[in-house]
Structure 1
Amino acid sequence: MIYELLAFALSLALTPYIAKLMKNAGIVGIDVHKVEKVEVPEMGGLALLISISLVSLLAKINGWILAVFLLMGLVGVIDDSVALKQSHKVLLSIMATFPIVAYINRDYIVIIKPIHVGVLAVLVLWMYVVASTNLVNMLAGFNGLEVGMSSVILFFIAILGEGSVRMLALIGLFASLGFLYWNKYPAKVFPGDTGTLSLGTLIGLLAILGKLEFPVAIMLIPHALDFVLKAKVRFKGKQIGRTRVLEDGTLVPPPYKSFLGLLMRIKPMKEWELVLASIAIEFFLGIVALLIQLA
């Protein structure tokens, strides 16, 4: 438990420090889902990048895995700095995860059982990580949502994984919990794309390294559904209209469909209730994935 506790402590301590630096530099975002719109420091995901990378080095996690993780974090920093187009973000994530092609040696993918697809397996697994990266990044925007849901996925990966996969999943989980202390409602810091892209990459990497691509895909169902719904409006939802907040804090869904919008339409909720409902759904999917994998 030494590495896990160190990851938690580092993230817990670094997050407010990074948040202060970002605030002083004017790198802030408006917490739009509150009645009173306040400024919150962005790019707090740097604390996750540093803590996960440093502890993983101490735990002697394979260097190329950390390189891909850090490269994706760099893409997140660029995105937080200049607001990349979604297409550019995907292209850069393809480039940042390219080392996977050189280091993954598999001729099969796992969908309950191994399915041999020859040389296509490496391409599929590479694109799996790219998909995971961008799906986690897309389902975002509420206090504690991205890191909370990612923490659940990392928790179940730690249960299902073995060896270095389990170790890295636990390091990522405990670092995320340290960050979540500051990111939970009401958030004192946002992860930014620096945090969401790197966590999405970590989840994808752990899935293919542990041959857990099927159970992790089950846990990414909310993210995939959100992607499909937003694709129908060509990812221009913010231009169509945003989620509104009533005087009592109740959220009014945006005028286009999304995963979170569907939940808001099922039952009126405040921000913290929406996040808890999303995390609960993620946990349920984790149980389903666990049962299927162990069957």
Structure 2
Amino acid sequence: MLVWLLAFLRDHLPGFSVFKYVTFRAAMAAATAMILSLVVGPWVIETLKRLKLGQHIRAEGPEHHQVKAGTPTMGGVLVLGTILVSTLLWCELRSGHIWVALLSLLGFGMVGAFDDAQKLLKKQNLGLTSRQKMVLLTAISLLVAFLVLHFGLRGANTSQLSMPFFKRFQPDVGIFLVPWIWLVMVGTSNAVNLTDGLDGLAIGGTLVVAVTFVILAYVAGHYKISAYLMVPFVNGGSELAVFMGAMAGASLGFLWFNAHPAEVFMGDTGSLGLGGALATVAIMIKQELLLVIAGGVFVWEAVSVILQVSSFKLRGGKRIFRMAPFHHHLELGGLQETKVVIRLWITAIVCCMLALSSLKLR
């Protein structure tokens, strides 16, 4: 929106030419989202308290988490709202990439909000069933897949995948591209959702990954840099760097309130929305496999749950971890919540550094 409003000044006054640069707008989107979060956050938290939208804590979870019962949840509306406003202000709205990213963000977020609302209305930690949630997420994923393919938002050689650390090896998944998109979107959103179990853990991890994808999106949309680094070029993909900047800023702003002891939880509203948007951006710039590396903490948290459930069913009730997801295993091993969170943040930073290093190690 501001891109349009400032177009005249940008073309006629030298000082305003900075608004055409993606890097500047990405930084401004991040700053705008963060400031909005800090300004609006207290009002959102008070509103959630007034509406009595307090978190229900699972009885089977760590016992010391029971003190968190009643903490306002559905704070994801703050994260998604600030991303939306910042994106509309700083992005080039003629970009199809931006609208598809927003569709994923808000679509997955609405599923999460409905799930959160069901839990709160029923006064217990039961929302949508797994099947209901999967149907809704699948419908949105298929719509995103259709738009990405119909409008050519993955650039040339649409069905090829970019392989980290390899120069020219780009396998073509062909007709399996749509199932692949579904897997990445549903898998990522649920992985972020499973990670959201400690104060600041999921939003801090999202912040680190979002900053990484600001860089990756900019590289993918810059013809010369992408050619030099042998990264698939996606025409218009650099605009997604502005969107990811907004996500990074919103995450940082929300972390202010979600840091231990959390004043608000983002709930499924935030975790599903953020996960879906991260996956969609990765899909459009052909860096889904780098998302697996950059989001290594999210991946491991999801894998720990899969391993735990599989072991319990196949080995007669035997468990691999003290409790899943993995962050609860660490807690029950004697680590304080804040130490678990900070160590997993450090792990997330290392994973993102590894992902970025792959751009040169080809």
Scaled by the length of structure 2, what TM-score is found? Answer: 0.71
Q: Which amino acid aligns with 2:186?
A: V
Residues 80, 270 of structure 2: 8 Å contact kept: yes
Q: Which amino acid aligns with 1:3?
A: A
- 1:211 CA displacement: 1.7
- Kindly indicate whether residue 206 of structure 2 is the aligned counterpart of residue 150 of structure 1: yes
Q: Which amino acid aligns with 2:84?
A: S
- Residues in 1 aligned to 2:178 and 2:68: alpha-carbon distance in whole angstroms: 46
Residues 159, 166 of structure 1: 8 Å contact kept: yes
Q: 1:66 aligns with which of 99, 102, 105?
A: 102
Q: Which amino acid aligns with 2:128?
A: L
- Kindly indicate whether residue 32 of structure 2 is the aligned counterpart of residue 2 of structure 1: no
Distance change (3 Å), C-alpha of 1:256 and 1:182: closer
3-state DSSP class of the match of 2:71?
A: strand
- Kindly indicate whether residue 37 of structure 2 is the aligned counterpart of residue 11 of structure 1: yes
- Kindly indicate whether residue 130 of structure 2 is the aligned counterpart of residue 94 of structure 1: no
Aligned to 1:242: none
- 1:262 CA displacement: 4.3
- Residues in 2 aligned to 1:33 and 1:286: alpha-carbon distance in whole angstroms: 31
- 1:125 CA displacement: 2.1
- 1:35 CA displacement: 7.8
- Residues in 1 aligned to 2:325 and 2:100: alpha-carbon distance in whole angstroms: 35
How many aligned residue pairs are there? 279
Could you list the runs of 5+ residues in structure 2 that have no partner in the other structure? 1-26, 58-62, 119-126, 150-157, 219-237, 313-320
Aligned to 1:107: 159
Aligned to 1:183: 258
Distance change (3 Å), C-alpha of 1:201 and 1:233: same
- Kindly indicate whether residue 297 of structure 2 is the aligned counterpart of residue 222 of structure 1: yes
Moved runs in structure 1, 4+ residues, more than 6 A?
none
- Residues in 2 aligned to 1:56 and 1:66: alpha-carbon distance in whole angstroms: 9
Aligned to 1:248: none
3-state DSSP class of the match of 2:146?
A: helix
- Kindly indicate whether residue 179 of structure 2 is the aligned counterpart of residue 123 of structure 1: yes
Aligned to 2:71: 40
Residues 149, 282 of structure 1: 8 Å contact kept: yes
- 1:28 CA displacement: 0.5
Larger deviation: 120-129 or 268-277? Answer: 120-129
Q: Which amino acid aligns with 1:14?
A: V
3-state DSSP class of the match of 2:84?
A: helix
Distance change (3 Å), C-alpha of 1:40 and 1:55: same
Distance change (3 Å), C-alpha of 1:100 and 1:260: same
Could you list the runs of 5+ residues in structure 1 that have no partner in the other structure? 238-253
Q: 1:258 aligns with which of 297, 316, 325?
A: 325
Identity of aligned residues (%): 26
Q: Which amino acid aligns with 1:45?
A: G
Distance change (3 Å), C-alpha of 1:200 and 1:37: closer
- Residues in 2 aligned to 1:188 and 1:19: alpha-carbon distance in whole angstroms: 8
Q: 1:134 aligns with which of 182, 190, 214?
A: 190
- Residues in 1 aligned to 2:322 and 2:198: alpha-carbon distance in whole angstroms: 17
Matches within 5 A, 1:174-253: 174-234=249-309
- Residues in 2 aligned to 1:63 and 1:125: alpha-carbon distance in whole angstroms: 17
- Residues in 1 aligned to 2:277 and 2:81: alpha-carbon distance in whole angstroms: 14
- 1:98 CA displacement: 2.2
Query: What do residues 186-215 of structure 1 show as CA deviations (whole Å, max 9, x unaligned)?
Result: 111100110111110111011112222121
When you count strand as a share of all residues, which structure comes out higher?
1
- Residues in 2 aligned to 1:257 and 1:29: alpha-carbon distance in whole angstroms: 19
- 1:264 CA displacement: 3.9
- Residues in 1 aligned to 2:288 and 2:66: alpha-carbon distance in whole angstroms: 40
- Residues in 1 aligned to 2:68 and 2:255: alpha-carbon distance in whole angstroms: 21
Larger deviation: 223-232 or 187-196? Answer: 223-232
Distance change (3 Å), C-alpha of 1:77 and 1:36: closer
- Residues in 2 aligned to 1:188 and 1:36: alpha-carbon distance in whole angstroms: 12
- Residues in 2 aligned to 1:97 and 1:198: alpha-carbon distance in whole angstroms: 12
Q: Which amino acid aligns with 2:280?
A: L
Aligned to 1:243: none
- 1:224 CA displacement: 2.6
- 1:30 CA displacement: 5.3
Distance change (3 Å), C-alpha of 1:37 and 1:119: closer
